[in-house]
Structure 1
Amino acid sequence: MNHDVHIIGGGLAGSEAAWQLARRGFKVRLSEMRGSGEMTPAHQTDGLAELVCSNSFRSDDDEKNAVGLLHHEMRRLDSIIMQAGETARVPAGSAMAVDRDVFSAGVQRTLEEHPNLTIVRERVDALPASGLTLVATGPLTAKSLAQSIANATGEDSLAFFDAIAPIVHRDSIDMDVAWFQSRWNKGSGKDYINCPMTREQYAAFVQGLLDGEKTEFREWEADTPYFEGCMPIEVMAARGPETLRFGPMKPVGLDNPRDATPEFPQGRWPYAVVQLRQDNKLGTLWNMVGFQTKLKYGAQVELFRTIPGLENAEFARLGGLHRNTFINSPLVLDRQLRLKGADHIRFGGQITGCEGYVESSAVGLLAGMMIANELAGTEWSPPPRTTAMGALLAHITGDAESDSYQPMNVNFGLFPPLHEVKKKARKEAYTDRAKADFGAWLEAMDAVPA
């Protein structure tokens, strides 16, 4: 099939962009190297839109939360990622979490069935010299293509380490010790499994993290910074003995019923808590929330089985570590995600320096819309900066400082401020303003899906 657009990379961003273009009537060639005999250090399948880290798209609250607002905007644009996410959804309180296998299969099936889209299993080694192209290869871009990108941009690629959290078999968790509860009792009440720790157990655990044998860095990985939002637990522990208790092991809002007394019938907060979140629809797999790690496998098993309730834990997957590569987008891309000096090439997804599944998908969606407008010969108008998509796009394409550019999740700090609104009401005000402005933008762009 002759194509109008070549998309390189079948992850979240590439899949979303391909869907947005195909459903608008344009012919798309989607190249994905997995399935051609190639694999990345982190992927385990050749499925499109495979989730390699957490199974959570984070908060689905579109009234007070920036990422929930991003969900809302993507749904209004008929996002394939949001559609597949709903189909594959598993309980996670106010968050949106999915069965990763059901999710990937749903995205792939929808794309395979579309007549305007051809999926080709092939590795692309260099940026095409001509033809509309979207590079959405993500943080695990093949070395040869990464070199081609570096040559084209005139800049060395930046990188950080992205760590993967372990997954535990549900039936190996001791529920005589652990208990079901969402923090502050949000959600259904059974969205998280909680493993409590005493002060002594916590201190021993932190020491074990510091002493445990860790993955050695290869020469080319030296001096690569971590992304703050995906920090390995042992790196957090090294910042101070109480750091984890104010992070992923925070006990507040979790009353341990095993410690109930007449005075405190709901129990009291433990000193620290390890939370696990359902990872698949069957409820047979649960991931350790916030437990990204670069400990070696043997050290992980030994240490994690000291956690109360996980003494006999069986792991479906242990934690891992991979390098995450992204370009200095504010310096090398224009406001339409085009490569300066080679405007037939656009970039989308995590390689642009956005961080998170939803953010990656959203930037892929925007790139697809930009290309569709270009093919249709219509003028592109970006979403207002007061919206989640507009704020994220503005950050990537120029609002951020290029000399200190780092990966960023969507957050209200990227939005134009509302200083006149009282602090307690600001989040609702941000979302109200965003929804109104996004609706007006859609109407002006004539972009509301049929």
Structure 2
Amino acid sequence: MVFTDQQDTFKLLKNGNIASAKGFQAGGLHCGLRKKKIDLGWVYSDVPAQAAGVYTTNVFQAAPLKVTQESIAKENQLQGIIVNSAIANACTGEQGLQDAYDMRKQFAETVGIEEHMAAVASTGLIGELLPMDRLQKGISQINQEEHLGAEKFETAILTTDTKEKGIAIELEIDGQPVTIGGAAKGSGMIHPNMATMLSFVTTDANIAADQLHGTLKSITNKSFNMITVDGDTSTNDMVLVLANGKAGNQPLTAQHPQWNDFYQALQFVCEYLAKEIARDGEGATRLVEVQVDGAFTDESATAIAKSIISSNLVKTAIHGADANWGRIITAIGYSGQSLDPDKVSVYLGDILVVENGVPAPFNEEQAKEYLLEDEVKIIAKLGDANGKATAWGCDLSYEYVRINASYRT
């Protein structure tokens, strides 16, 4: 399969995953944090990789985030990531921080890398200490061949997710094949400015850490920071990118003639993972995409898109297949952005429901039929300016309440 976006071409690798790039491997096993499910995963590069990360904006940052940021700060490099699910190791004080350090130390020793070359991530229930005896026993087994496999890693990092989320694409730079792969988890507590999500991206591209960091931050603002499920932002969220340079291309910078190719490919991978998180929202039955065009600035369009996609009234209307465009208009209006209401038009897919600020005649049954599809697109055209943005989310269902009313039990 070939994707073309702004004249950039790359191919989606069949069964591609986070270990598809040269020099990377991944795995997962059950260490007893969950009753039966795989709950401990890892990613490893056979050479040090340039590293960049972005993290939750929640002021309660979990211990693993602090340790990971410390690791990256030392040399802007990583060679491995250890991840557990079930328990978040958040709000656990000095003991939780020491446990995260101990996870890092044992993982590094097990795979044979320097301690500061390892990152740590956790996800799950907040406020509980990790059962370190079980975790340490699991880490001691990660070199066993039976536990290798990217699909095991994708499973190990899940919490309330209903499916694994992975991808890999390939493009050519300087005549060399360059691969970008990734995996993510996220289903509930998802909201712009990071969410209850972990995302890990690997590439064999040759790119400097400072260039990688700026690129990741820019792309995150267009992908992971543009999704919402329920309006909550958690304590453990991070996106990490590792680039080990094994593709052998010339160093990628903004001056490289194929820089835009790489940027678009990395953005595609991040957008794919972000949309898969939104699609798999707790209790969700539909993926919802909001496109905003004609805003005065991209920043204004972003705020409006987030306002629409975050509206519980919009989300419940989508769940009920109710073409209640008034809720969309309301969300645009309280976004706090400047606009001319008399120039606003709204579409549900191809169906025009509002034109220049007033109702447009449309077939209710046709609209209902469209809103029952697996993917729903809301388009808001605000005028003739150039600002635009896209956000993703899902409907809000009865099942979401059921899942979260009994999360601890």
TM range (shorter): under 0.3
Larger proportion of strand:
2
TM-score between both structures, scaled by the size of structure 1: 0.25
Q: Normalized against structure 2, the TM-score is what?
A: 0.27
- Higher RCO, 1 vs 2 (CA within 8 Å, ≥6 residues apart): 1
